[in-house]
Each structure stands twice: as C-alpha cells, then as structure tokens.
Amino acid sequence: MSLVTPDLGLLFWMVVIFGTVFFLLAKFGFPIITDSLDKRNAKISKSLKDADEIAVLMSDWKVEHARLMEEARREHSAILRSATETKSRIMDEARAKARLETEKMVADAKRQIAAEKESALRDVRKEIALLSVEVAEKILRSELSDESSQRSFIDSLVDEAHQTPLHS
C-alpha cells in the first residue's frame, strides 16, 4: 500500500528542503544561539562558584569582624575603667590638696588672729598703764594739794619702803 512505500518525489523534496534549511540554520541560526547559551551557562556556573567563594570569605570576615568587635568592646571598657580610675584619683588628689590648703589657711588665720590679739592686748595694756598713771597722777595731785597730806603721803611711802625688801 502507498502508506508504507516512500514516495520518490516527497523523498527528493524532503532531502532538498531539509538539507537547505539545515545548511542555512547550521550556518546562521543554531551556532549563534547555542554559543550564547553556552556562554550564559558558563557565566552562571562561574557566578555560582564566585558566590560560594564570596560566602566563604564573608563567613571568614564575619568571624574576623566579631573578633574585632569583641576586642574593641574590651578596649572600650578598659579605657572607660582607666578613665574612671584616673578621674577618681585626680579628684582624691584635688580633694587632699584642697584640704591641706584649707588647713594651712586656717592655721595661718589662727596664727594671725593670735598675733592680732596679742598686739591688741599689748595696746590695751599700754593704754591701761598710761591711763592708770594719769589717774594716779590726778589722784595724787588732788590728794597732795595741801601740806599735811603731802607729808602723810611721804610717810606712807617711807613706811612702805621699809616694809618691802631692801633692794626695791
């Protein structure tokens, strides 16, 4: 039957047409496309490999980063601690100095006050002595205005001189 006997004309045309189309596409069609596909495949696999490498690098970096962070944190706290220490030391020192200063000042003031007091006392004493001499003078003058009283005063003085030890 004609169904299973290949027809010569169709065979001929099939060879010609298929051959022509194949020739054209094998020259201008498929290689361009498949080359692009190959290039893209290569790029994709390369990108994947690169991504893997970068991921490894990244994890290394992460470890490094964590280490650095830890170190920085330690350093930070150390600096803080030392700063606090310095601060309290400086404050202590300042406080001690201030106390010394104050004590010195207080002592100076006390000394000065004592000196002032002394000189004031001295002045007062001197004044009192002068005053008493003056008073005595006035009293003497008023009491020795007449002869008798002068005599009696001299007598009393002589008595007094007798009563007291010789050298006075």
Partner 1 sequence: MILAFLISLLLVMPGIGVSVMPGTDQASEIAGQAGNDGGSGEEVDVSEIIFEHIGDEYEWHMATWKGKDIAIPLPCIVIEDGVQVFTLHHAEEHGYKLNENGKLVNARTGKRPIDLSITKNVAALMISSLLLLVVVLITARWYKRHDALEEAPTGLAAAVEPLIAMAHEMARENIGEKDYRKFSPYLCMVFLWILFNNFLGIVPFFPGGANLTGNIAITLVLALFTFFTVNFCGTRHYYKELFNPDVPGFLKPIMPIIEVFSALMKPVSLTVRLFANMLAGHIMILCMVCTIFIVAKYGPALSGGLTLVSVLFGVFLDALECLVAFIQAYVFTTLSSIYIGLARQHEEH
Q: Using CB under 8 A as the criterion, which residues of the chain lie in contact with partner 1 when the complex forms? A: 2-15, 17-18, 20-22, 24-26, 28-34, 36-40, 43
Our CB check for partner 1 shows the closer of 17 and 128 to be 17
Our CB check for partner 1 shows the closer of 13 and 153 to be 13
Distance of alpha carbon 110 from alpha carbon 103, whole angstroms: 10
Our CB check for partner 1 shows the closer of 46 and 110 to be 46
Report the nearest approach of partner 1 to the CB of residue 23 (Å).
Answer: 10
Six token digits for residue 160: 């007094």
Report the nearest approach of partner 1 to the CB of residue 49 (Å).
Answer: 16
162 touches 168 (CB < 8 A): no
- For 6, the 3-state DSSP assignment is coil
Integer-rounded Cα radius of gyration of the chain: 65
Report the nearest approach of partner 1 to the CB of residue 54 (Å).
Answer: 19
Our CB check for partner 1 shows the closer of 39 and 99 to be 39
Report the nearest approach of partner 1 to the CB of residue 48 (Å).
Answer: 14
Our CB check for partner 1 shows the closer of 35 and 60 to be 35
143 touches 153 (CB < 8 A): yes
Report the nearest approach of partner 1 to the CB of residue 50 (Å).
Answer: 14
Orientation of helix 30-143 relative to helix 147-163, angle to 10°: 110
168 touches 161 (CB < 8 A): yes
Distance of alpha carbon 156 from alpha carbon 133, whole angstroms: 19
Six token digits for residue 141: 């003058």
